[in-house]
Amino acid sequence: MALLHLLLAQATSDPTKGLTAIGRGIVYGGAAIGPGIGIGLVVGNAITAMARQPESAGTVRTTMFLGIAFTEALALFGFVLAFIISG
Amino acid sequence: MNSLLLSVDVPPISHVTIWGSGPLGINRTVAVYIFATLATTLLFWLGTRKKDALVPSGFFQNTAESGVGFVRSQVIMATMGPDGLGYLPYLSALFFFIFFSNITEIIPGVQFPANARLGMPLVLSLFTWAIYMVVGIVKQGPGHFLKNSTVPSGVPWWVLPLVVPIELLQVLIVRPFSLMVRLFANMLAGHLILVTFASLTAALWALSFTVVIAPFSFALLVAMTGFEVLVSFLQAFIFTILTAVYIDSSMHPAH
């Protein structure tokens, strides 16, 4: 019961603060969708390539890290943007 | 008690150690960069003292030689080919400097990756930007460099008004910006995760009835610490290899 009162006091003290937090969550969550799918595609296809041609695993691994780095950049932009948002 | 229950107490970002004041005052970020510079210099200094020896021996020489061999085979030969071997000293130094300033994230007592502050990633990515611009202008000439980096081959002419500004923006701004943000945001995110789980473990430990959950939080903290070793290495590697890729795109334009 005391916890509930505490939560209520926190919730009613500054309503815009909560909205900012929700906005940050939406920004980062939205920015993570595409890169999540993209990194899955990159790594999945790299594993297929390595399984089919184990002798080319070194080249494939280097290219895979490059692909991950390019794909991941978008998620990181969202991460930084979530910090930039202020309420 | 309230803050422990409702949110995790994370130390404020201004709460870092500062020694001295004014322009000569240093904080933890600067201290880590001084450590990284000294470590890189000492590694190659001590590692190359016996360079006439046929068989490498000792910790420093083995580390330096295997590191340079790694950069040579995995970064330069994989992207630029034999033409790019002249960049081996710069790329090796870059790799080790970024790695040493990242790995302090998991060293007990320091536990702060200096690259989680924007300054040095910005400077390093501006170095990369300057190198690939100068290499492109010198090797191809200004006109050819502009044409090769903004007009991709095989694009129909009526798409060019859309493609050329995008490619120009990509070469001039997006490449160094994404290099900077990639290194900075990866280290900041890793650091925040470690801070969050450490604070969470401490907060759970302080309360009587939540102590049973604390071991799970602690186990995840240990696991994430191991993961951050991988991330520190991987980010140094990716920064180096992307620098090599960008220099390669200036040296060998796609036809």
Reported as a single tens digit per residue, the pLDDT across B22-60 is 677 777 888 899 999 999 999 999 888 877 777 777 888
Mean pLDDT throughout A25-54? 94
**Which amino acid appears at position A30 of this protein?**
G
Say yes or no for a CB contact (<8 Å) between A69 and B242. Answer: yes
A-contacting residues in B 18-57 (Cβ below 8 Å): none
* Inter-chain CB pairs, A–B, below 8 Å: 40
Q: Residue B165 and residue B167: Cα distance in Å, rounded?
A: 6
DSSP state of B18: E
Distance from CA of A2 to the nearest CA of B (A): 11
Interface test with B, best of A6, A39, A60, A80 (most B CBs within 10 A): A80
- H/E element holding B26? strand B26-27
Interface check B183 vs A, CB under 8 A: no
pLDDT of residue B253: 80
Interface check B78 vs A, CB under 8 A: yes
A7/B134: higher pLDDT: B134
For residues A40, B149, B120 and B39, what is the CA-based torsion angle, rounded to 10 degrees?
80
Spell out which residues of chain A touch residue B78, defining contact as CB-CB under 8 Å: 59, 62
pLDDT of residue A42: 96
Searching chain A, which residue's CA lies closest to the CA of residue B241? A66
Q: Which residues of A touch B (CB under 8 A)?
A: 3, 6-7, 10, 58-59, 62, 65-66, 69, 72-73, 76-77, 79-80
Searching chain A, which residue's CA lies closest to the CA of residue B75? A62
**Residue range(s) defining the domain that contains residue B63:** 2-251
What are phi and psi for residue B18, nearest 5 degrees? -130, 125
pLDDT < 50 regions, chain B: 1-8
Q: Residue B91 and residue B71: Cα distance in Å, rounded?
A: 7
pTM summary value: 0.85
pLDDT of residue B5: 39
Tokens representing residue B187 in the block: 């280290």
pLDDT of residue B97: 96
Position A62 pLDDT exceeds 50: yes
Interface check B68 vs A, CB under 8 A: no
Q: Set out the domains of chain A in order of their start, with CATH numbers.
A: 17-84 (1.20.20.10)
Say yes or no for a CB contact (<8 Å) between B182 and A69. Answer: yes
pLDDT of residue B137: 94
pLDDT of residue B212: 83
The residues, any chain, with a CB within 8 Å of residue B120's CB and separated by 6 or more, are B33, B101, B114
What residue has token string 């798409």? B159
Paired residues of B27 in beta bridges: B18
Cβ burial A11-35 (10 Å sphere, 16+ → b, else e): eeeeeeeeeeeeebeebbeebbeeb
Per-residue pLDDT band at A82 (split at 50, 70, 90)? confident
Searching chain A, which residue's CA lies closest to the CA of residue B71? A62
What residue has token string 């002249």? B86
Interface check B5 vs A, CB under 8 A: yes
pLDDT of residue B7: 45
Nearest to B181 among A58, A59, A77 (CB): A77
Neighbours of B5 (CB within 10 A): 15
Nearest to B182 among A58, A62, A76 (CB): A76
Cβ atoms of B121 and B184 closer than 8 Å: yes
Say yes or no for a CB contact (<8 Å) between B178 and A59. Answer: no
A2/A30: higher pLDDT: A30
Spell out which residues of chain A touch residue B210, defining contact as CB-CB under 8 Å: none
Interface test with A, best of B178, B210, B234, B240 (most A CBs within 10 A): B178
Tokens representing residue A64 in the block: 């895979």
Spell out which residues of chain B touch residue A7, defining contact as CB-CB under 8 Å: 6
What residue has token string 């890290």? A65
pLDDT of residue B52: 75
User: What is the domain count for chain B?
Assistant: 1
